[in-house]
Amino acid sequence: MTLAMVEISSTRLVITEWAPFLYFTQTMAFLGVILGLALGYSRFSRQAVIRIATGYTFLLIHAQLLVAVERTDWLWDDVTTLFGRLLYSLEQFITNKPVYDHLFFISLVILAYWLIGVFAGYWLTRHWDFLNVVLPSGVAILTVQAFDPPRLQRVLELGLFIFTVLLLLGRLYFLRNRSFWKKSHFLLTDEAITDIERGTLAVTAIAVFIAWSLPGWVSSIKPAAQAWREFSQPIFDKFSNVVSALESPYAGESAGGEFYGASLSLGEQAATGENIIFTVKVKESNFTPIRTYWKGRNYDQYSNGRWTTGVDESEAFDPAVDEITVEYPDDRHPMEYTFTNHANKQRLLYAPAETIWISKNADIQSIPIAGDLKNVSAFIAGTSLSNGDQYKAKSLIADPSIEELRAAGTEYPAWVTKRYLQVPDEISPKLKELALEIAALQETPYDKAQAITSYLRQEIEYRETIEEMPSDTVDPVLWVLFDYKKGFCMYYASAEALMLRSIGIPARMAVGFVEGTFNEEDGLYNVAYKDSHAWPEVYFPGIGWVEFEPTSNQFPLERPEVKFDPDEIVAGQEAENLPIIPIQPTPQEDRPENPLDEEVGNSTATQPIWYRNLIAPALALSILGLFIFVVRHYSLNERLPVYLAYQYERRGNVPPHWLKRWIRWTGLSQVERAFQSVNLSLYWLGRPQAAYITSQERANELVKSLPEGREEILTLLQEYHTTLYTPQTGSLVTARKAAAKILFKTLKARTKETLQFFDRQYNELE
């Protein structure tokens, strides 16, 4: 059971897929429990146990981590590389900097579960201490549960863990008592053992069900739910920021756990991983973009390896009444999207440019253009999205041809030239010299931008991780562009945007995600960590912002040479003369035409109604069943009144009458308790009897008062006499049935008598 408990806890971490090689924790937890069990059974002293465990820790942890590093022919080189990466990450962690190397996180969780396993095995066999065995694994799985989305499979893991823990508790309790029973020569039959096992399973199942249902039941009570959120949210926000540094190397200081913050450091490593951030379903349309970018933010100011956003306005957006007005809406194609969030916490809303409506209350960070026109930098949701939350977005997608881009000209608006031509003075000359050299033969801004795009794709080698810069005085973009010649999307996009600015072409940095993987079965895009991306956007008068793709690991953007109008196709035109536009299959989804008619932002809307309605009564029945079981199993009904009377007498007080009657009641047999229905019926009918009156006389008196119950009264009296005055025991079933019928007929007679009394009073009043 201990092995199962620790393995379930480590498996809960593995299924999060927070980092590669998390399955190492399962191996190390298993080996840790085995070592702990062996050390617990051994006769080694505590100091010897610590020394042996330390030696195994140092040996096995590093042996396991070596599997995760790139191996060479020399073991010493591999060990040196491993220690170097861990020491560097430790330094980053101590100096409160983001740790980009997943190996550091993996080493921490491996060490944690190795120690949890050793600790659990040792305390089980050496001390039989339930809390010390269970507590470390429990804290670990609850910590993971707090930061990982509560999907069904992941909640099942927690339920299975609780079930195993309670079984372990019951088993330890039984074994301890069995040892005592043997010493005291107490006879323990196989039937008793079976009853104990069944009782343990019943209590465990009920407790797991309560643990499963209680959070949803409590959350339905608004004051309790609000109090819990106020207490827990600051804690989760604080610690989720620590986890987000491991998940995303891009989040700035003010990110608040987001993938992209208000500032963006270029960093040394691109985001990787298969974890799904969100999924997108595209509403069927006659138009299909050549590529879709799920944009989160724009950045306009650059300085020494960091992009920032200069926002002039931040205002609330109400989806019920608001819609964004953008430049050149008539030349764009309307599209609708449904986003489903799969991140732990997300406020930054992603959507294609230009987004004009979103189904969430949000704050819009924007730059005013003229009149009602806005240049939106980001949509920030009013409340964080949890796993499973959805929102809709409407966007106007540009589809310019190369011919249109070349003809756009250079008459840029003042708000564009004011903000999107900034280049730091210390790097501008070198960037301008290179940009002019690359675009020397080009005439239009489009051709110059395309020439720089092609240059970067050919000259810069794509790498997910780059080396540390040799000097802090060198600008990262210049170092990658002129010296290192390697980088990832942040450096490609930054280099193109800054080079274009240096020669007078407005450009900006955009971040978000590329399309992702299209799932034909579900008809949606799966967007993962590895799809995080940065790209430059270039401004063209009369068209607006247009994406370019300089990153070499992405397919180039291939725009049509001329504008394609389906209405101009003449009958019989050859298919080979038509421009090729890649089309992804996007099946029609059944949903209302008006997005406001559908509650997509509320994750509770998808929960089954019957489940929510049954939680409270099921929980009440479970608690009642558990209470009845405990009362019967531990004979609390007999023990409790005696204990209370003892406490009264111990303090010099006389026990009250109700407690004395309770004690007398507990001393009666089951048939005698059934006969008390006769006394209760006499009391209800106004014929209470003195204590010295015999049972025969009581029965006769009740027959006079309740003649319709004569048969049941005599039957109950016979079973009562058989139990008290003969060697045999009366039939408890017969006695209880007779008692129930007597009480029912008594209530019926009493009700009839009461109604007749009120009827007489009414007649007298008339």
Per-residue confidence band for 603, with pLDDT thresholds at 50, 70 and 90? very low
Beta bridge partners of 406: none
Per-residue confidence band for 486, with pLDDT thresholds at 50, 70 and 90? very high
- Give the pair of three-digit tokens for residue 14: 């593995």
What range does the domain containing 736 cover?
Answer: 668-765
Encode pLDDT of 419-443 as tens digits.
999 999 999 999 999 999 999 999 9
Residue 719, domain member (yes or no): yes
pLDDT at 87: 85
Q: Which of 538, 561, 584 is the last residue of a domain?
A: 561
pLDDT reading at 570 higher than 90: no
pLDDT at 574: 45
Residue 342, domain member (yes or no): yes
The CA distance from 671 to 688, in Å, is 21
Clarify whether residues 12 and 160 are in a common domain. yes
Encode pLDDT of 178-204 as tens digits.
776 666 666 666 666 666 666 666 666
Kindly report the backbone phi and psi dihedral angles of residue 314, in degrees, each rounded to the nearest multiple of 5, phi listed first: -140, 115
Average pLDDT over residues 38-46: 91
Query: If you search the block for the tokens 């608006």, which residue do you land on?
Result: 413
Per-residue confidence band for 115, with pLDDT thresholds at 50, 70 and 90? very high
Average pLDDT over residues 410-418: 92
Clarify whether residues 165 and 281 are in a common domain. no
pLDDT at 610: 43
pLDDT at 217: 46
pLDDT reading at 172 higher than 80: yes
Q: Which of 84-93, 162-171, 506-515, 608-617 has the lowest mean pLDDT?
A: 608-617
SS3 content of the chain, % helix, strand, coil (to 5): 55, 15, 30
The CA distance from 297 to 264, in Å, is 10
pLDDT at 683: 86
Q: Does the global pTM surpass 0.85?
A: no
Average pLDDT over residues 94-107: 73
DSSP 736-757: HHHHHHHHHHHHHHHHHHHHHH
Q: Which of 179, 203, 235 is the last residue of a domain?
A: 179
Kindly report the backbone phi and psi dihedral angles of residue 143, in degrees, each rounded to the nearest multiple of 5, phi listed first: -65, -45
Per-residue confidence band for 42, with pLDDT thresholds at 50, 70 and 90? very high
Clarify whether residues 397 and 530 are in a common domain. yes
The CA distance from 382 to 380, in Å, is 6
Per-residue confidence band for 598, with pLDDT thresholds at 50, 70 and 90? very low
pLDDT at 433: 95
How many CB atoms are closer than 10 A to CB 530?
A: 18
Strand 346-349 relative to strand 544-547, pairing: unpaired
Residue 520, domain member (yes or no): yes
The angle that helices 222-247 and 190-219 make with each other, rounded to 10 degrees, is 90
Write down the mean pLDDT value for the chain: 80
pLDDT reading at 41 higher than 60: yes
pLDDT reading at 175 higher than 80: no
Would you call the peptide bond into 574 cis, given omega within 30 degrees of 0 as the criterion?
no
The H or E element spanning position 229 is: helix 222-247
Clarify whether residues 153 and 283 are in a common domain. no
Query: If you search the block for the tokens 């009391």, which residue do you land on?
Result: 683
pLDDT at 53: 92
Top-confidence residue, 92 or 81: 81
Please say whether the beta carbons of 592 and 598 come within 8 A.
yes
Average pLDDT over residues 75-94: 79
Clarify whether residues 161 and 309 are in a common domain. no
Tell me which range, 61-75, 527-541, 677-691, is most confidently predicted by mean pLDDT: 527-541
pLDDT reading at 599 higher than 80: no
Clarify whether residues 171 and 306 are in a common domain. no
pLDDT at 543: 93
Residue 205, domain member (yes or no): no
Residue 573, domain member (yes or no): no
Residue 650, domain member (yes or no): no
How many CB atoms are closer than 10 A to CB 751?
A: 10
Clarify whether residues 280 and 424 are in a common domain. yes
Radius of gyration of the chain measured on its C-alpha atoms:
38
pLDDT at 264: 85
pLDDT at 253: 39
The CA distance from 673 to 667, in Å, is 9
Clarify whether residues 149 and 297 are in a common domain. no
Number of structural domains the chain divides into: 3
pLDDT at 724: 85
Which strand ranges, in their side-by-side order, compose the sheet holding 313-317?
313-317, 362-368, 374-385, 346-349
Average pLDDT over residues 274-292: 87
pLDDT reading at 155 higher than 80: no
Per-residue confidence band for 254, with pLDDT thresholds at 50, 70 and 90? very low
Average pLDDT over residues 85-112: 78
Average pLDDT over residues 567-579: 45
Encode pLDDT of 643-687 as tens digits.
778 777 877 778 888 878 778 878 788 888 888 889 888 888 888
The CA distance from 441 to 490, in Å, is 27
Kindly report the backbone phi and psi dihedral angles of residue 362, in degrees, each rounded to the nearest multiple of 5, phi listed first: -150, 165
> Alpha helices, DSSP H only, in 559-669?
609-633, 636-650, 657-666
Query: If you search the block for the tokens 């201990």, which residue do you land on?
Result: 2
pLDDT at 244: 43
Beta bridge partners of 337: 282, 393
Strand 313-317 relative to strand 355-358, pairing: unpaired
| 3-state class (DSSP) for residue 170 | helix
**Contacts by 759-766, CB closer than 8 A, 24 or more apart:** none
Per-residue confidence band for 596, with pLDDT thresholds at 50, 70 and 90? very low
Residue 296, domain member (yes or no): yes
Residue 369, domain member (yes or no): yes
CATH number at residue 393: 3.10.620.30
The angle that helices 445-459 and 428-438 make with each other, rounded to 10 degrees, is 100
The CA distance from 266 to 554, in Å, is 18
Q: Which of 151, 179, 207 is the last residue of a domain?
A: 179
Clarify whether residues 164 and 287 are in a common domain. no
Please say whether the beta carbons of 548 and 534 come within 8 A.
no
Query: If you search the block for the tokens 């062996």, which residue do you land on?
Result: 38
Query: If you search the block for the tokens 């509650």, which residue do you land on?
Result: 599
pLDDT at 495: 96
